[in-house]
């Protein structure tokens, strides 16, 4: 019997968008097991804690149904992605690719990761047309500036975002 194909889909997921969920669903069709790796150290100042980001991703997967939750596991990771990929037995890293602007960053990261561990391939899933322009960073910006984030994230994530933005504003006395 062929070895099961384990994929690792890493990211900051701060928070998970409809684009991420689409990649998870599609990657789950390709892999026998998919680990969604939520990076503890993002190099950015995340809006949600690592526990919250993991929990919100789990909520999304359960809400989507289609039985993908049987194949998909959501775990936090720290340190080098390629070390973690080995740890979970991943043979492929899955990344979503949107507009050409993603290319340079992804190209550098893939090249570096291939040097670190040439046995693990990075595969890209092109973002579906309606998700081309969604990014967690822009969704947060839209939310902070009072725009409607519901076209880009699920209603659950939108609620988490609105709540967090209000908490942050209250803490700053705005």
Is there a contact between 121 and 94 (Cβ–Cβ < 8 Å)? Answer: no
Distances (CA, A) of 110 to 92, 105, 106, 152: 11, 9, 6, 26
Alpha carbon 123 to its chain's center: 15
The number of residues that bind ligand PNS (CB under 6 A) is: 10
- What span, in angstroms and rounded, lies between the C-alpha atoms of 83 and 126? 25
Selected binder of ligand PNS within 97, 109, 142, 165 (CB under 6 A): 109
Whose tokens are 């775990």? That residue is 75
CB nearer to ligand PNS: pick between 29 and 83: 83
Strand 92-97 to strand 72-77: parallel, antiparallel, or no bridges (unpaired)?
unpaired
- Name the token pair of 107: 């190209």
Binding pattern to ligand PNS, positions 46-85, x when CB under 6 A? ----------------------------------xx----
CB nearer to ligand PNS: pick between 112 and 166: 112
Selected binder of ligand PNS within 8, 9, 12, 31 (CB under 6 A): 12
Does position 17 interact with ligand PNS (CB under 6 A)? The reply is no
CB nearer to ligand PNS: pick between 46 and 143: 46
- The residues that touch ligand PNS, with contacts defined as CB under 6 A, are 10-12, 39, 42, 80-81, 109, 112-113
């Amino acid at each position: 019997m062929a070895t099961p194909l384990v994929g690792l889909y890493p990211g900051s997921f701060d928070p998970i968008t409809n684009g991420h969920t689409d990649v998870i669903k599609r990657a789950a069709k390709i892999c026998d097991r998919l680990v969604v790796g939520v990076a503890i150290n993002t190099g950015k100042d995340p809006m949600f804690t690592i526990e919250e980001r993991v929990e919100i991703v789990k909520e999304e997967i359960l809400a989507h149904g289609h039985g993908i939750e049987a194949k998909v596991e959501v775990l936090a990771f720290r340190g080098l992605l390629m070390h973690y990929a080995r740890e979970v037995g991943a043979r492929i890293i899955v990344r979503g690719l949107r507009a050409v602007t993603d290319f340079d960053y992804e190209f550098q990261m893939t090249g570096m990761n291939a040097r670190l561990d040439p046995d693990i391939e990075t595969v890209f899933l092109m973002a579906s047309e309606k998700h081309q322009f969604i990014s967690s960073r822009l969704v947060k910006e839209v939310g902070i500036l009072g725009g409607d984030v519901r076209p880009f994230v699920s209603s659950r994530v939108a609620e988490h975002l609105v709540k967090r933005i209000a908490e942050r504003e209250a803490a700053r006395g705005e």
